[in-house]
């Protein structure tokens, strides 16, 4: 029995699985300690998103276990996992386009009472949000939508965040802002973050560790501040 | 002319009341509840029970709502839930359930037409003629139901969760929403509203074991042209209900009876979104 | 080069002796039945046989093809009213009998065609189809009710002169008719066309992309079943001398569905036995305890839909078969396996090297509401090119493929495929222009065997038969190559649902190749495949482009794979083509490194 206090925020042990008979993720191990940021990099189609869907309970595991803060969660329905101090920013259809900004933010919380206080906190990071609560989320620009996704997941003050390719298609200035917000969140609240990325510079700028996923297996990992980290990752990512 | 407009308004209101329960369950579950007609019937007989017990006729409304809610929730758990992945089979199973309900009612209450005491009766002088007070009261009831539903959907956390499930069930789950309980509540509420509507229409329609069936098809068609939008349902009720009334009045009542079904089928062929605005 | 054609076997000749014997016994029974059975039962059975005939048509539509219909009652009613109206208002003589029968069938077929046009348009949802079949009987009943003395309104028509036959003759006609219909349906559902119905139920999209207009197939099927239902109605009206509006109605329509569901959808014996049993029992019980009987039927129906979606008769059948097998008296029929005949390739002529563009795309644009997914796409590809479309997720790669294989997809811009301008046309027209599309997720027919899947893919070259099933597959050489190298040829009789992921991908690829396309569009054909399988697919694609002058459009995430096999790479980013060049151009490009891997300093704005 692991001591819950010392248990990592997220621990993935020997996990395999995929869609139906197709095995996309093969015997993967991954640990995100409390308060740390781990970046998983890899080209498209290498199983990154699949791994997240398995952690969140949307896809069944063929093998292995997933533990969150020392508690085994695989087999639980997604909505129960989502209530375990975890915030998930999916890459596909991450927002309710036809709901307002305010409603999207509200859905980041489980009860409405704390809304004003949390909005104030999130508004520090993204000052445009409190002014535009009544706007439909689908009418925000691409960058604003990404910021709304992050803002929504910060509403509940999660202890761990799973973020899937948040930088995809973003302007450098927005990426810089998001990097700042995530680093600040970790510093202020000790939030652990699992970052799924293709943007090497962004990932290495805020992560403590990196791991490269190729054909559903981790082929390289190490500290993000290693001198050769970018070079090693790019070897796997390059065309 | 004024009377025609008044007729259109009251007809639309009653159509809206009869269909809104089906809209709620279809919107959230994406499954058509073909027992909707039977739940209307249950509402009619709930009102009958209130009359037979000698209670205040106004009690018929909360009582029918409650009966529908409870029965609807049970139906969701035991019949609809196993069929989430088979929407066409869900139509059939709920139709079968409708048969069961109407036979049980027949066995318990007999097959004859029954009469329910109405809380308001008589006519009121309006536009150089008299107009049924009950139709006006029913319209008021429909407006209240529609208003409360709109508040529920747009001003409460439950409504927000329900809309989130309607729009993107996976994302809703990823945000910690128990979509299974949202479905249960939505179906129960839909059945409750159907039952309430059944109690409301009792003075206008006779109470017999199959009283809900004629309403089912119109409600079904209105919901298909309305998607999951209360506003679109309102528009649909006014436009198609108005058309029905005009054709019945100036054409033939039989053609009028077909108007909603045929017009909705043609509308969907041309515009699959029906009355849903962008 | 000559294509070897071997004989095809009519299904009737392969009718096993056991089934033949059953048919013979039933034929005899239909002749002697009325003399040995109780007269009341004979009366009831005649009605049941007519109903069972209609139930069979519901089963063909719903059980086999997946079209839930509440409207078959209307066609039955049309046939019945044709007899009643003609005999009541025009008079009765042998000529009038034919007029009424032909007229009734003609009206039913015409109405069915109208329903098909309304319900089976490209992109119609199954729910909408159910809605149209629901509106049909409601309209029909109202029309009958509004007919006054002409239709007899709510009391119907009675007492008209009918074909004067004894009850024994009616029994033989109804039973014999049902028997003939059942055998004919058995032949049909086991033919190539019958397998097509199941294919439409399984995966209508794949049918469209095999060049089959499923809308047309469904409409014709509806018309044929309408004719059968109208004939049953005609016979029924002549037998009972009564017609009533309920015959055309929605409740009778749902009753037919209930009989089919209880008996067993997707089987023939189920609906026939189910209808006869339920109708006979109902005739005996509904008099004494009508409500309890209906209550029981309703409850059992709900239970069957929930727990036994295949119905009661197949369950009983399996039970009996299981028992017989245990005592060694029953063994399964051997699965017929098709032989493959490779055709000489290159015979179509279109594959010869030409410099004419295979695809000519200009100013193509795709928007979803306010979101622009593709913008100003201009691309010309030629035979022999293997063009890889790459780019990050959401760049619009799959959307582009979709716009090129379905004329309804794009918002604006022009697409010319092998010299044919693509209008607002469904996928099966794109197939006719030479497009073969393989989807990302393996897209095959789960209930069909490998051989059947491939046979359907040949439909444009060898029309499907409604009475035979071919024992030989004539396939173009590239398809045979895929089949042989992947080992699919050894499992031709296996249902596609049992194949591994890789085998399904290979099957879909060979189905697409069996279309003999000149342009091949492949969406991540290697996703989820092993390294060896990836190599194999790569070699085949290179060969197709080089030797068979295919123009191949490949959406691919695996950039190593792209580098190995492409002759040209097109990079999409944010819905635009940002680079179009050789593999070398792309590999060396700083721009590609940036859009793709997101490297470079993110603080810098270019």
Q: What is the CATH number of the domain that holds A53?
A: 3.40.50.300
CB contact under 8 A, A44 and C393: yes
Pairing of strands C576-581, C568-573: antiparallel
Q: B116 in contact with C at a CB cutoff of 8 Å?
A: no
Provide the ipTM: 0.91
Backbone conformation region of residue A31, classed left if phi is above 0, alpha if psi is from -120 to 50, else beta: beta
Per the model's pLDDT, the better-predicted residue between B89 and C591 turns out to be: B89
Contact C605/A91, CB-based, under 8 Å? no
Partner-chain contact A93 B170, CB within 8 Å: yes
User: Distance (Å) from the C-alpha of residue C283 to the closest C-alpha of chain A?
Assistant: 49
Q: Do B261 and C139 touch (CB under 8 A)?
A: yes
Query: Which pLDDT score is estimated for C606?
Result: 34
pLDDT score of C333: 47
Tell me which residues of chain A, numbers 53 to 92, contact chain B at a CB-CB cutoff of 8 Å. 56, 58, 77-79, 82-83, 88, 90
The span from the CA of A28 to the CA of C244, in Å, is 69
Please give, rounded to a whole number of angstroms, the shortest distance from the CA of A17 to a CA of chain C: 11
Nearest to B174 among A88, A111, A112 (CB): A88
Cβ of C334: how many Cβ atoms within 10 Å? 7
Residue C15 pLDDT grade (very low, low, confident, very high; cuts 50, 70, 90): low
Domain interval for residue B153? 2-211
> Tokens 């259809």 correspond to what residue?
A93
Residue of C nearest to A177 (CA): C603
In chain B, the number of structural domains is 1
Closest residue of C to A91, CA-based? C393
- Inform me whether the pLDDT recorded for B193 exceeds 90: yes
Report the residue from B160, B171, B176 with minimal CB separation from A90.
B171
Q: Give the pLDDT band of residue C351 (cuts 50, 70, 90).
A: very low
In this prediction, residue C279 has a pLDDT band, given cuts at 50, 70 and 90, of very high
Mean pLDDT of A94-101: 92
- pLDDT value at residue C370: 67
Closest CA to C164 of C78, C94, C89: C94
| Residue C468 DSSP SS3 | strand
Q: What local confidence, expressed as pLDDT, does residue C338 receive?
A: 59
Q: Summarize pLDDT for A49-74 with one digit per residue, the tens.
A: 889 999 999 999 999 999 999 999 98
| CB-based contact, A138 to chain B, within 8 Å | no
- Rounded alpha-carbon distances, angstroms, from residue B231 to B162, B185, B190, B215, C569: 16, 21, 17, 20, 49
Mean pLDDT of C579-601: 71
Q: Are B68 and B43 in contact (CB under 8 A)?
A: yes
Q: Is the Cβ of C354 closer than 8 Å to some Cβ of chain B?
A: no
DSSP state of C531: H
Closest CA to C238 of C181, C164, C149: C164
Tell me the average pLDDT across C318-346.
63
* A199 vs A184: CA distance, rounded Å: 19
Average pLDDT over residues B85-99: 91
Task: Tell me the pLDDT band of C591, cut-offs 50, 70 and 90.
Answer: confident
Residue B33 placed within a domain: yes
Whether B238 is in a domain gets the answer no
pLDDT reading at B199 higher than 90: yes
The answer to whether residue C182 scores a pLDDT higher than 50 is: yes
Separation CA B16–CA B237 (nearest Å): 6
Nearest beta carbon to residue B160 from set A90, A97, A107: A107
Using the Cβ of B247 and the Cβ atoms of chain C, whether some distance falls under 8 Å is answered with no
- E strand spans, C223-331: 242-243
- Cβ–Cβ contact C398 with A under 8 A: no
Percent of chain C exceeding pLDDT 70 equals 89
Residue C10 pLDDT: 45
Dihedral, C594, C595, C597, C598 alpha carbons, nearest 10: 60
Summary mean pLDDT of chain A: 88
Who among C559, C586, C598 is closest to A199 (CB)?
A: C598
* pLDDT tens-digit map of C373-414: 888 999 999 998 999 998 876 778 888 999 999 989 899 999
Contact call for residues C590 and C399 (beta carbons, < 8 A): no
Would the pLDDT of C7 be above 80? Answer: no
Domain contains B138: yes
Cα atoms in the 13 Å half-sphere on the side-chain side of C560: 12
CA distance B225 to chain C (A): 11
Instruction: Check residues C39 and C286 and name the one with the higher pLDDT.
Output: C39
> Is B265 part of any domain?
no
Q: Which residues sit opposite A162 in a β-bridge?
A: A88, A194
The first and second tokens of residue A130, run together, are: 């409190």
- Name the pLDDT band for B203 (thresholds 50, 70, 90): confident
Determine which helix (DSSP H) or strand (DSSP E) holds C102, and give its type and residue range.
helix C94-119
Identify the CA nearest to C164 among candidates C214, C116, C92. C92
| Six token digits for residue B174 | 């990823």
The residue of chain C nearest to residue A199, with distances taken between CA atoms, is C598
Is there a contact between B167 and A78 if contact means CB atoms under 8 Å apart?
no
Does residue C131 have a pLDDT over 50? yes
Q: How far apart are CA C606 and CA C603, in angstroms?
A: 10
In a domain, A26, yes or no: no
Is residue A113 within 8 angstroms of chain B, CB to CB? no
- What subunits make at least 3 CB pairs under 8 angstroms with C? A, B
């Amino acid at each position: 029995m692991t001591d819950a206090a010392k248990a990592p925020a997220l621990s993935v042990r020997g996990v395999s699985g995929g869609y139906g008979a197709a095995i996309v993720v093969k015997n993967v191990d991954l640990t995100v300690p409390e308060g740390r940021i781990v970046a998983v990099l890899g080209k498209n189609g290498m199983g990154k998103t699949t791994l997240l869907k398995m952690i969140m309970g949307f896809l069944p595991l063929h093998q292995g276990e997933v533990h969150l803060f020392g508690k085994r969660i695989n087999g639980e329905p997604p909505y129960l996992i989502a209530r375990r101090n975890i915030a998930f920013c999916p890459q596909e259809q991450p927002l309710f386009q036809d709901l307002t900004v305010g409603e999207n933010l509200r859905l980041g919380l489980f009860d409405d009472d704390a809304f004003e206080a949390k909005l104030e906190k999130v508004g520090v990071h993204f000052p445009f949000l409190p002014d535009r609560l009544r706007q439909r989320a689908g009418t925000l620009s691409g960058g604003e939508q990404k910021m709304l996704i992050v803002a929504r997941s910060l509403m509940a003050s999660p202890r761990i965040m799973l973020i899937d390719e948040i930088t995809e298609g973003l302007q450098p200035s927005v990426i810089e802002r998001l990097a700042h917000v995530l680093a600040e969140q970790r510093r202020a609240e000790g939030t652990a973050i699992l970052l799924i990325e293709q943007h090497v510079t962004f990932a290495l700028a805020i992560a403590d560790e990196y791991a490269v996923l190729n054909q559903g297996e981790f082929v390289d990992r190490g500290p993000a501040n290693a001198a050769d980290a970018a070079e090693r990752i790019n070897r796997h990512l390059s065309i | 002319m004024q009377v025609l407009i008044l007729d259109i308004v009251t007809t639309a209101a009653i159509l809206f009341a009869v269909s809104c329960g089906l809209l709620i369950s279809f919107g959230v579950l994406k499954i058509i509840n073909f027992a909707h007609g039977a739940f209307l019937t249950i509402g009619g007989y709930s009102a009958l029970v209130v009359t037979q017990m000698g209670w205040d006729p106004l009690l018929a409304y909360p009582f029918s709502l409650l009966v529908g809610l409870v029965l609807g929730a049970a139906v969701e758990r035991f019949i609809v839930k196993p069929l989430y992945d088979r929407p066409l089979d869900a139509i059939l199973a709920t139709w079968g359930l409708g048969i069961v309900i109407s036979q049980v009612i027949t066995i318990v209450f007999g097959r004859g037409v029954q009469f329910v005491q109405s809380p308001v009766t008589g006519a009121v002088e309006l536009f150089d003629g008299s107009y049924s007070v009950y139709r006006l009261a029913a319209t008021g009831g429909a407006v209240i139901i529609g208003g409360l539903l709109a508040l529920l959907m747009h001003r409460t956390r439950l409504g927000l969760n329900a809309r989130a499930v309607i729009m993107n069930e996976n994302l809703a789950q990823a945000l910690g929403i128990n979509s299974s309980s949202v479905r249960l509540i939505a179906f129960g509420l839909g059945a409750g509203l159907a039952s309430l509507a059944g109690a409301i229409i009792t003075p206008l329609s006779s109470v017999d074991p199959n009283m809900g069936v004629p309403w089912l098809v119109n409600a079904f068609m209105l919901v298909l042209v309305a998607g999951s939008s209360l506003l679109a349902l309102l528009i649909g009720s006014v436009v198609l209900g108005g058309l029905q009334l005009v054709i019945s009045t100036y054409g033939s009542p039989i053609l009028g009876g077909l108007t909603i079904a045929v017009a909705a089928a043609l509308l969907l062929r041309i515009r699959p979104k029906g009355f849903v605005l962008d | 080069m000559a294509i070897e054609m071997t004989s095809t076997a009519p299904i009737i000749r392969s009718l096993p002796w056991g089934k033949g014997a059953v048919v013979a016994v039933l034929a005899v029974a239909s002749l002697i039945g009325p003399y040995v059975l109780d007269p009341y039962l004979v009366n009831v059975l005649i009605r049941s046989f007519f109903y069972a005939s209609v139930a069979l048509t519901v089963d063909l539509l719903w059980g086999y093809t997946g079209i839930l219909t509440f409207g078959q009652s209307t066609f039955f009613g049309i046939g019945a009213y044709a007899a009643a109206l003609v005999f009541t208002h025009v008079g009765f003589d042998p000529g009038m009998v034919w007029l009424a029968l032909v007229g009734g069938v003609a009206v039913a077929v015409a109405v069915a065609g109208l329903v098909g046009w309304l319900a089976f348009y490209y992109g119609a949802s199954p729910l909408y189809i159910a809605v149209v079949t629901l509106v049909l009987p409601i309209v029909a009943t109202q029309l009958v009710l509004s007919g006054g003395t002409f239709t007899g309104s709510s009391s119907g028509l009675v007492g008209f002169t009918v074909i004067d036959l004894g009850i024994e003759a009616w029994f033989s006609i109804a039973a014999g008719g049902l028997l003939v219909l059942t055998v004919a349906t058995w032949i049909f559902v086991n033919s190539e066309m019958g397998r097509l119905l199941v294919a439409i139920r399984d995966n209508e999209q794949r049918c469209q992309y095999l060049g089959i207009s499923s809308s047309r197939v469904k409409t014709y099927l509806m018309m044929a079943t309408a004719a059968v239902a109208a004939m049953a109605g005609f016979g029924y009206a002549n037998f009972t001398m009564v017609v009533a509006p309920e015959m055309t109605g929605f409740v009778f329509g749902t009753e037919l569905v209930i009989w089919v569901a209880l008996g067993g959808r997707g089987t023939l014996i189920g609906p026939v036995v189910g209808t006869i049993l339920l109708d006979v029992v109902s005739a005996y019980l509904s008099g004494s305890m009508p409500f309890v009987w209906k209550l029981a039927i309703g409850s059992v129906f709900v239970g069957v839909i929930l727990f036994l979606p295949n119905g009661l008769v197949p369950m009983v059948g399996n039970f009996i078969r299981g028992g017989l097998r245990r005592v060694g008296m029953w063994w399964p029929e051997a699965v017929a396996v098709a032989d493959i005949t490779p055709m000489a390739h290159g015979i179509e002529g279109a594959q010869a090297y030409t410099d004419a563009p295979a695809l000519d795309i200009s100013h193509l644009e795709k928007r979803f509401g306010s979101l622009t997914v593709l913008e100003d796409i201009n691309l010309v590809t030629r035979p022999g090119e293997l063009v890889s479309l790459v780019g990050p997720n959401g760049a619009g790669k799959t959307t582009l493929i979709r716009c090129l294989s379905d004329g309804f997809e794009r918002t604006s811009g022009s697409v010319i495929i092998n010299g044919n301008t693509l209008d607002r046309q469904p996928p099966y027209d794109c197939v006719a222009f030479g497009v073969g599309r393989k989807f990302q997720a393996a897209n095959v027919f789960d209930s069909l065997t490998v051989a059947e899947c491939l046979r359907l893919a040949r439909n444009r070259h060898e029309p499907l038969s409604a009475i035979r099933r071919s024992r030989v597959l004539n396939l173009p050489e590239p398809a045979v190559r895929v089949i042989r190298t992947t080992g699919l040829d050894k499992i031709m009789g296996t249902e596609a649902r049992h194949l591994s992921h890789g085998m399904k991908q290979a099957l879909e690829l060979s189905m697409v190749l069996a279309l003999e396309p000149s342009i091949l569009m492949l969406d991540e054909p290697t996703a989820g495949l092993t390294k060896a399988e990836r190599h194999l697919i790569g070699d085949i694609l290179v060969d197709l482009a080089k030797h068979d002058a295919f123009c191949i459009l490949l959406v691919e995430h695996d950039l190593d794979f792209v580098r190995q096999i492409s002759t040209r790479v097109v990079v999409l980013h944010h819905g635009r083509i940002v680079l179009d060049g050789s593999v070398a151009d792309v590999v060396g490009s700083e721009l590609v490194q940036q859009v793709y891997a997101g490297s470079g300093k993110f603080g810098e704005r270019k």
